[in-house]
Structure 1
């Protein structure tokens, strides 16, 4: 059902549409001669369950934010493609899939795409283990893997090194605390963590007595200060803005040290020079989306869309390899003549039979 931008009585129209669909499903289930007709209406049934809820009289009414929509990973966004899900990246919102591309970045060889992953919209970090598994199956695992910050976490740094012997290179996501964003106050890094004695000391020399490793916060550890420690402190406004006392959350010792080491390496010029190689991946993404229209799917369903992405990546690889000169030839393109440069600089077109500088 489609409504205009400013419909009259939208709730009534949606309610009527929901009850009509429910009546249709009830009739099909009661009178269908076989299960074929029932299975054909399964998508309609799923959409009804996600978009409507029965009231006290047994009639369907549209769900609201308070009524509880299913999570975005389960909510059907289109009756024509049941696999698509809602995605958001920054200010961009769409219904569809995510495309993850991995390519080589050797200095002396052409960059070729080695892995293509088409997934439902999830956290980018969820795609990394699958990428490494497929690369390992094809014996293409790199020694160093340069990743965008959205694909990186401290847990992945440790997992990739332990399971595959890969050094992940990229910026670990910065803390989301207001102290870090505003560059003021006491952030977590200003606290001293004593893992041996299970204590945390604040910049004002107050020591915690609570050290909690709750499963709901895994893998993070929480250390809590007491109100009698925080309330009389003259620097309380620099530490916390809430009424409760300050709590500090941090990773276990081996991950905490790995996180600190990663952030220290980001200040090294050699690390920045290495990570600068990853910028070429942005050009590849632009080549896929602008040059080969990978942003628009020609087919319905995750499996068929993935085939489209693989064929697009193969086309990019063929194009890149075809542009490389054979290694066993001395052929080099001839430089354009002065007259050719004059024509190009003034926007004059040349016939196809004109020498193209070769």
Structure 2
């Protein structure tokens, strides 16, 4: 927590409190340092004299860097949760709710060609600092015109053919630089320069080398722009910016962004204040349901597992329902995936619930009383789906066929026994009044995300890299918890959702 060299060390507890105040008011480092010097309320809280000169703004950045370097990003967050648990403000095995929102990276959004140009510029600038003499001896004089200026001044021609030729010229320049760095005469440490490591990744992902020309073959062995035909890497591994390789492209419905996702989990019991108990920061392309099992494992480590977990449809699947109940004794409450077959959308048609499944004998019986002909498990992408076929002669002659299948014979595709039973039970719960009440309670997490986005800068990352962005999210969550504890101690009532004057007017009965 203390700096080993440099200026006299500041008190860690005071820096921690200043950092939380900074995030609660969405201040920059410079504004927070100015507040320590000028604001009497901050001086009173920090126990400083009115004449205290404060410190340089860089002290706050160095403090955060020490937290990340020491893998202590969650230290302030966990310490506050421990104090709350000791004072009975966290219910054991209560209710919790989780939701996520997208986070924009602290870099500009670039397309693939723009990312390639900027990556080569970044590599040249890095080599100009660490190996200027070597770079001067191996650079092309024309590169200063292409990469010596900002990408905004780089002329990218119009038209598919011209753009491809421009991209391949850039690819050839980068390939020549990589070949020079990989040469035996080059210093070995140049290959490990971070900008060169990123350049190699970007070139592998966006370019490919044609086969060297041989007699009777076509092609000139040049660097080619990679297209769908050659295969473009998935968004999770694709580098979107040379300045922050951890950011990735993602799309959810109509929203597209380059950055991360943050998942917040908070308590929602009536007798305690709503407190955030877990924060997960993930790459943007990671689907929500993949976060659930690590989330429960982390809560189990802190002995903060809920009995009922309120989530939305993006987190729930059959695997998760079974795993949460089996591994952590947690009941997931939320809308599960619907049956999208036409029978589920047609009144009077036979869905899978109309069939009797004898799991021990591996026989299914249809509403007409016919047994299935075959029952075989199908393993695909780590999931087990049972394929149950009925005999074609029974289906063709059956009077119930129009309500059962439009094919020659009926096919059922349930999941494994545990997953199928979990889905049936979850769909049955959705019709209850208790489920509707839980859905209304789950909506409270939207307010938490909205507060973080609107007043604390949760939407945009302040820093580069996943680790520092996660630290930002943890500090934001800690600041939210402090505000809620202050409101709880002061008996401040929770705010209600605001409605416009027009909405309030139309909600009133006519003539009122």
Aligned pairs for 1:1-358 (under 5 A) are: 1-2=113-114, 6-7=158-159, 9-30=162-183, 31-40=185-194, 41-57=196-212, 58-120=221-283, 121-180=285-344, 186-203=350-367, 206-216=370-380, 218-225=383-390, 246-326=410-490
Normalising by structure 2, report the TM-score: 0.58
Unaligned runs of 5+ in 2: 1-112, 115-154, 213-220, 494-500, 502-512
Give the drift of 1:5. Answer: 9.3
Give the drift of 1:89. Answer: 1.6
Q: Deviations over 1:242-272 (max 9, x none)?
A: 7x85432112223212211111111111232
CA spacing shift, 1:56–1:164, aligned 2, 3 Å: same
Give the drift of 1:216. Answer: 2.6
Higher relative contact order, structure no. (Cα contacts within 8 Å, ≥ 6 residues apart): 2
Normalising by structure 1, report the TM-score: 0.81
CA spacing shift, 1:181–1:304, aligned 2, 3 Å: farther
Contact conserved, 1:54 with 1:60, CA < 8 A, in 2? yes
Contact conserved, 1:116 with 1:310, CA < 8 A, in 2? yes
| Whole-angstrom distance in 2 between the partners of 1:45 and 1:5 | 25
Give the drift of 1:225. Answer: 3.9
Unaligned runs of 5+ in 1: 334-344, 346-358
| Whole-angstrom distance in 2 between the partners of 1:139 and 1:97 | 27
Give the drift of 1:118. Answer: 0.3
Contact conserved, 2:167 with 2:225, CA < 8 A, in 1? yes
Contact conserved, 1:117 with 1:131, CA < 8 A, in 2? yes
Contact conserved, 1:32 with 1:38, CA < 8 A, in 2? no
Q: Deviations over 1:50-100 (max 9, x none)?
A: 112222343221222222112222222222211122222222121211111
**SS of residue paired to 1:117:** strand
After superposition, the CA RMSD in angstroms is 2.9
| Whole-angstrom distance in 1 between the partners of 2:179 and 2:346 | 58
CA spacing shift, 1:160–1:5, aligned 2, 3 Å: farther
| Whole-angstrom distance in 2 between the partners of 1:38 and 1:198 | 58
Contact conserved, 1:51 with 1:69, CA < 8 A, in 2? yes
